[in-house]
Structure 1
Amino acid sequence: MRIDVLTLFPAMFDGVFSSSILGKARDKGIVSLNTVNFRDYANNKHNTVDDYPYGGGGGMVLKPEPIFSAVEGITEGLTSDRKPRVILMCPQGQNFNQKLAESFAEEEHLIFICGHYEGYDERIREHLVTDELSIGDYVLTGGELPAMVVIDSVVRLLPGVLGNEMSAVTDSFSTGLLEYPHYTRPAKFRDWEVPDVLISGHHKNVDEWRRRQSLMRTWAKRPDLLENVELTPKERKWFDEWRASLESKEAPSADGKN
């Protein structure tokens, strides 16, 4: 995979692209990570990339010429039949999630555009980008940090990036549920013991325990995720038991006290 990032602050990516999982993926040749300062594509002697908005108003707007030219410079001469996905990081974009990460991980080439100032010239949005992304309903100084989040989420899904290929498969949200609890040595720490089932060596029981814990954790913390999860009759019975247990704890006693 090739990933190019259009940014006015390429130095922000130096540490991120050279460290941890992203750095290892680049060293292995699994992904090419590049930054492009689109100020270099400005068509004026002052290298100006922004201007006042037509119609008035506060703030500055990113001009279309430098960004179009930067993307065209990146894609010029590419031989692949598959066009890159050009991703605009902005608060108006679609909320990023694991399904989108999995979709991007199937691409050969991604181009991220990181904005600053008041916004983008609308022609960038209409005629250049293929996707608009947001990582949440809040405003940041620029698109660099959101782009880093998305890139990290995508690259870790590429074959050969993680030491254990099952890690990405069982992560929270990859299955549509939150992940089950994890434990490691020692088996007993400050009177807190690892659940017996995990050290029993009975793989079927371990799998069932993990599924049960994943469902219970999702129900408690993110019940909205369960809307798209298909449950077995046995799992539905678990939910009935949990609801009954919760209702019995919340029910008032005979003397009117909980």
Structure 2
Amino acid sequence: MRVDVLTLFPEMFDGVFSSSILGKARDKGLVSLNAINFRQYAGNKHGTVDDTPYGGGGGMVLKPEPIFTAVEDLLANRSDQESAPRIILMCPQGETFTQKKAEELSKEEHLIFICGHYEGYDERIRQHLVTDELSIGDYVLTGGELPAMVVVDSVVRLLPGVLGNETSAVTDSFSTGLLEYPHYTRPPEFRGMKVPDVLLSGHHANIEAWRRQQSLLRTLERRPELLEEAELTDKEREWLRKLQSDKS
């Protein structure tokens, strides 16, 4: 996969792209990670990338020329065999980013992220250039850099060979539509707190059943709305109904 991030602050990505899972993935050649300063595409001696909004109002708006030119430059050497990239605008107005979206994007060959600053984007960028608008939550940040880092991390870790244990991403919270079950490691007893006996039993079927039950229970307690779309058996739905009935 190739990931290009258009930003006014490429230095913000140096540590993120060279550390931990992302850094190892890049070192292994599993992903190309690039942060590009789109100010170099401003087309004027002052490097101006923003201007006041038509109609008045506070703040500055990112101009269309630098963004369009930067994307066109990234696509200039694309072969006919290469699929078109997903061009993603990080924006508070966008679709809320989810694990399902991460899984969808992980199947792409090329992702281009646009990180805005100031008051917003010229609407022509939104209407005629991007393929996706994403938000990581209902709050506003200074710019799109931190959200882009979140999305890139979430997507890249799903690529084949990136995680040491290939089952890790499969069992993560939200990957199954549910929250992940509790984890324990050595020692089996710590300050009087014991690991559940089933996890020490070596009985894999019982362990899997316990983990599934705990995942359902944790989701019911913390994010019950997720259960509405989760794939559950009739037996599991009946068990959850009984739990809810007992609580009420």
**What secondary structure, in the 3-state scheme, does the structure 2 residue paired with 1:106 have?**
coil
**What secondary structure, in the 3-state scheme, does the structure 2 residue paired with 1:102 have?**
helix
Residues 165-220 of structure 1, C-alpha deviations (whole Å, 9 max, x = no match): 00000000000000000000000011110000001011100000000000000000
Structure 2 counterpart of 1:256: none
Structure 2 counterpart of 1:173: 174
Show the 5 A alignment for 1:57-76. Answer: 57-76=57-76
Show the 5 A alignment for 1:96-175. Answer: 96-175=97-176
CA distance in 2, matches of 1:216, 1:189: 24
**What secondary structure, in the 3-state scheme, does the structure 1 residue paired with 2:184 have?**
coil
Segments of structure 1 that go 5 or more residues without pairing to the other structure are 248-258
| Matched-pair contact (CA < 8 Å) for 2:177–2:231 | no
Segments of structure 2 that go 5 or more residues without pairing to the other structure are none
CA distance in 1, matches of 2:125, 2:224: 38
**TM-superposed deviation, 1:244:** 4.2
- Give the CA RMSD over aligned residues: 0.9
Structure 2 counterpart of 1:45: 45
1:222 aligns with 2:220: no
**TM-superposed deviation, 1:223:** 0.4
1:34 aligns with 2:34: yes
CA distance in 1, matches of 2:95, 2:241: 35
- Summarize the Cα distance change of 1:240–1:132 in structure 2 as closer, same or farther, 3 Å threshold: closer
**What secondary structure, in the 3-state scheme, does the structure 2 residue paired with 1:169 have?**
helix
Q: Which has the larger radius of gyration?
A: 1
**TM-superposed deviation, 1:43:** 1.1
**TM-superposed deviation, 1:240:** 3.6
CA distance in 1, matches of 2:93, 2:244: 38
- Summarize the Cα distance change of 1:67–1:240 in structure 2 as closer, same or farther, 3 Å threshold: closer
Q: What TM-score does the superposition give when structure 1 sets the normalisation length? A: 0.94
1:10 aligns with 2:5: no
Could you tell me which amino acid in structure 2 is paired with residue 81 of structure 1? E
**What secondary structure, in the 3-state scheme, does the structure 2 residue paired with 1:86 have?**
strand
Could you tell me which amino acid in structure 2 is paired with residue 26 of structure 1? R
**TM-superposed deviation, 1:110:** 0.1
List structure 1 runs of 4+ shifted beyond 4 angstroms: none
| Matched-pair contact (CA < 8 Å) for 2:49–2:62 | yes
CA distance in 1, matches of 2:240, 2:18: 45
**What secondary structure, in the 3-state scheme, does the structure 2 residue paired with 1:72 have?**
helix
CA distance in 2, matches of 1:232, 1:157: 27
**What secondary structure, in the 3-state scheme, does the structure 2 residue paired with 1:235 have?**
helix
1:237 aligns with 2:245: no
Structure 2 counterpart of 1:200: 201
Q: What TM-score does the superposition give when structure 2 sets the normalisation length? A: 0.98
Structure 1 counterpart of 2:54: 54
CA distance in 1, matches of 2:93, 2:237: 38
CA distance in 1, matches of 2:12, 2:240: 47
Aligned length: 247
**What secondary structure, in the 3-state scheme, does the structure 1 residue paired with 2:111 have?**
strand
CA distance in 2, matches of 1:183, 1:201: 14
Could you tell me which amino acid in structure 2 is paired with residue 140 of structure 1? L
Could you tell me which amino acid in structure 2 is paired with residue 39 of structure 1? R
**What secondary structure, in the 3-state scheme, does the structure 2 residue paired with 1:91 have?**
strand
